[in-house]
Amino acid sequence: MTQFPDRTPKTTRNTRSRGAALGLMALLSAPVMLSSVALTTPAYAQSAAITPINELYAALGQIQASSSGSAEARAQIVGPVIDRSFDLSTVLHNSIGMRYTTLSSDEQSRLLAAFRQFTIARYVSSFKKGSGAKFTVNPSTRPAPTGGSTIVSTTIGDGSDPATAINYVMMPSGGGYRIVDILLNGHISQVAAQRADFSSTLARGGVDALVTLLNRKTANFMNK
């Protein structure tokens, strides 16, 4: 990955880099353990599944650069990559649960638009300028225990502390693969963590309440 010039003092860089991984950790509040299986994925599937992760990490490297601009400018950098790398509709569906299928197409569209902005803003907040996070992608993938998906294993760190394992659950999509879940420390599901918050908000106040929640979180991330 191209390295960008960084004049931030090393202590500050280390703190920010740890903060990037911890920022993702703080967003996951309902851990779900997923067991792994030691099987081998065909080489063509490995390459296709890893490509979106490499693209995402390249974009996160760009928005950490000192020249990456305002929060809005950095969102413009990472947003299109998130659109390509994630199956946001599936992530949102799984984060809400079965009730998602009872919503109208207009309600689903409104939620998806708000969820997209929320996802972009979360990355902009977690990987601030000068964070100095380093990304490592394991070239070997493995099947997930269920669902016909593939897991790509990665780490995020800065070398000053043990790197944090951030793994991705990938599903075939459009001739390639897209992210449908993120596993912190290799087993804590982001989708499961979001489900308690999203589904309870939807149950209490409907689509309007969940859109309002997502928009509020987005504004907070963009202003940090």
d(CA 53, CA 59) in angstroms, rounded, equals 10
- Residue 59 has what DSSP assignment? H
State the pLDDT at residue 147. Answer: 77
Q: Provide the domain count of the chain.
A: 1
What is the residue whose two structure tokens read 């490499």? 54
Question: What is the per-residue pLDDT for 145?
Answer: 84
d(CA 75, CA 83): 12
**Mean pLDDT, rounded, for 22-51:** 49
Region 1-15: mean pLDDT is: 41
| 159 confidence band (pLDDT: 50, 70, 90) | confident
Task: Please indicate, yes or no, if residue 222 is contained in any of the structural domains.
Answer: no
Note the pLDDT of residue 210: 98
Residue 38 near residue 127, CB atoms below 8 Å: no
Point out which residues pair with 168 in neighbouring strands. 152, 182
More confident residue, 72 or 148: 72
- Check whether 34 has a pLDDT greater than 50: no
Q: Could you tell me if residue 221 is inside a domain?
A: no
54 vs 148 pLDDT, higher one:
54
Q: Are 95 and 198 in contact (CB under 8 A)?
A: yes
Better-predicted residue by pLDDT, 52 or 131: 52
**What CATH number is associated with residue 204?**
3.10.450.710
The DSSP bridge partners found for residue 155 are 136, 165
Paired sense of beta strands 164-173 and 176-184, if any: antiparallel
pTM of the model: 0.81
Q: Is residue 8 pLDDT above 90, yes or no? A: no
Q: Is the confidence at residue 193, as pLDDT, over 60?
A: yes
pLDDT category of residue 102 using cuts at 50, 70 and 90: very high
How far apart CA 88 and CA 68 sit, in angstroms, is 25
Could you tell me if residue 224 is inside a domain?
A: no
Q: Distance between CA atoms of 61 and 156, rounded to whole angstroms?
A: 11
Instruction: Note whether residue 150 is domain-resident.
Output: yes
pLDDT attached to residue 162 = 85
- Say how far apart CA 91 and CA 96 lie, in whole Å: 9
Q: Could you tell me the residue range of the domain that residue 38 belongs to?
A: 10-215
Residue 68 in any domain: the answer is yes
Mean pLDDT, all residues of the chain: 83
**Residue 192 to residue 194: CA distance in whole angstroms:** 5
On whether residue 131 sits in a domain, the answer given is yes
Cβ-contact 180, 87 below 8 angstroms: yes
Among 24-28, 89-93, 162-166, the minimum mean pLDDT is found in: 24-28
Please state, for a pLDDT cut of 70, what percent of the chain lies above it: 79
**Is 117 part of any domain?**
yes
Helix, strand, coil percentages (3-state) for the chain, rounded to 5, are 55, 20, 25
pLDDT of 131 > 90? The answer is no
The whole-angstrom separation of Cα 49 and Cα 104 is 32
- The band of 37, judged by pLDDT with boundaries at 50, 70 and 90, is very low
Q: Is residue 187 part of a domain?
A: yes
- Can you give the pLDDT at residue 20? 52
pLDDT of residue 46: 54
